[in-house]
């Protein structure tokens, strides 16, 4: 590894820790951020999906632990989504889709991620509305299926839905999303492993992401603001989205 490659790797590692910190602080695993970062650094498509899912498992697990420790987790808000999302995520992970279709779907979800970070980072409703089981089951299935297909846990989509529907507060949505991401990522990587070999290199980034994820989970569960980092991440996602769409 020459000096230039070393500098690039250091920059990538710092960015990876920053993304893990940011996402863990809001109860997410960070897959959409990892995907954007790896896409920006021209990682192979067949490497991005399993790596993002593996990192998701570890970071979302840490995040869930700290949000639950601070009494933000509500089981009744979690299980209806999980019932349908887990098998759907397994199915999505098993499915093989065309590389170009993968990029289009990924770009769409990155746009959703950008809007989630910029516009849905705070609670928009103070009062809760009645929870609807059937709607939750449908939402869980759809998020799980597409999450497994493109290699994300789905929490970045679930948490704003929970908040916008008035089913939970911000910290409750974060705690539910963290566990949602954890179980869906396990289901997704399991489905992926049935039809694709998983490279050992996909595990090499775990220690780097864990550093950022640990501190993010600790600070996020104690209501530390990361407004500036959210805008920086939104820019990273936008760049990656443009690259996937036009390159």
pLDDT digits 0-9 by tens, 16-74: 999 999 888 888 888 878 888 888 888 887 888 889 889 999 999 999 999 898 888 88
Q: In the numeric block, which tokens belong to residue 120?
A: 């849905």
Angle formed by the axes of helices 3-25 and 31-40, nearest 10°: 160
pLDDT at residue 59, as a whole number:
94
Q: Per the structure block, which two tokens stand in for 78?
A: 């979690």
For tokens 């000096």, the residue is 3
Map tokens 């601070």 to a residue. Answer: 70
- Please say whether the beta carbons of 148 and 188 come within 8 A: yes
d(CA 102, CA 19): 22
Domain residue extents for the chain = 11-246
**Which stretch of DSSP H or E encloses residue 209?**
helix 206-220
Furthest C-alpha separation in the chain: 59
The structure tokens 């990876």 sit at 16
For residue 100, the tally of other CB atoms under 10 A from its CB is: 10
Contact 117, 234 (CB under 8 A): yes
Under a CB-based contact definition with an 8 Å cutoff, are residues 49 and 20 in contact? no
Judge whether 23 and 185 are in contact, CB under 8 Å.
no
Residue 225 backbone phi and psi in degrees, to 5? -80, 140
CA 217 from chain center: how many Å? Answer: 14
Q: What is the pLDDT of residue 164?
A: 77
Integer angstrom CA distances of residue 95 from 22, 78, 89, 92, 191: 30, 25, 10, 5, 8
Identify the pLDDT of residue 136: 94
Kindly list the distances between the CA atom of residue 79 and the CA atoms of 19, 62, 67, 82, 179, in Å, as whole numbers in the listed order. Answer: 27, 19, 17, 5, 10
Mean pLDDT, 10 residues at a time, the chain of 247 residues: 74 93 85 85 84 91 91 89 90 76 75 73 59 93 84 79 81 88 87 77 88 90 62 70 67
In this structure, how many other beta carbons lie within 10 angstroms of the beta carbon of residue 74? 17
């Amino acid at each position: 590894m020459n000096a230039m490659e070393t500098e690039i790797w250091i920059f990538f590692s710092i960015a990876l820790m920053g993304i893990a910190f940011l996402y863990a602080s809001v109860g997410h695993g960070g897959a959409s951020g990892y995907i954007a970062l790896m896409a920006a650094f021209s990682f192979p498509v067949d490497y991005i999906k399993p790596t993002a899912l593996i990192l998701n498992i570890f970071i979302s697990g840490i995040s869930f632990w700290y949000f639950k420790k601070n009494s933000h987790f509500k089981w009744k808000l979690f299980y209806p989504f999980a019932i349908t999302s887990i098998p759907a995520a397994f199915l999505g992970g098993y499915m093989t889709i065309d590389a170009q279709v993968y990029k289009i779907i990924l770009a769409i979800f990155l746009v959703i991620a950008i809007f989630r970070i910029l516009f849905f980072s705070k609670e928009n409703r103070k009062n809760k509305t009645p929870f609807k089981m059937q709607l939750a089951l449908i939402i869980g299935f759809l998020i799980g299926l597409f999450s497994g297909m493109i290699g994300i846990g789905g929490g970045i989509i679930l948490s704003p839905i929970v908040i916008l529907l008035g089913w939970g507060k911000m910290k409750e949505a974060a705690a539910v999303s963290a566990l949602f991401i954890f179980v869906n990522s396990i289901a997704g990587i399991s489905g992926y492993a049935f039809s694709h070999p998983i490279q050992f290199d996909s595990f090499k980034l775990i220690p780097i992401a864990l550093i950022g994820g640990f501190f993010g989970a600790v600070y996020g569960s104690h209501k530390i603001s990361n407004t500036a980092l959210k805008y920086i991440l939104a820019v990273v996602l936008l760049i990656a989205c443009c690259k996937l769409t036009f390159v």
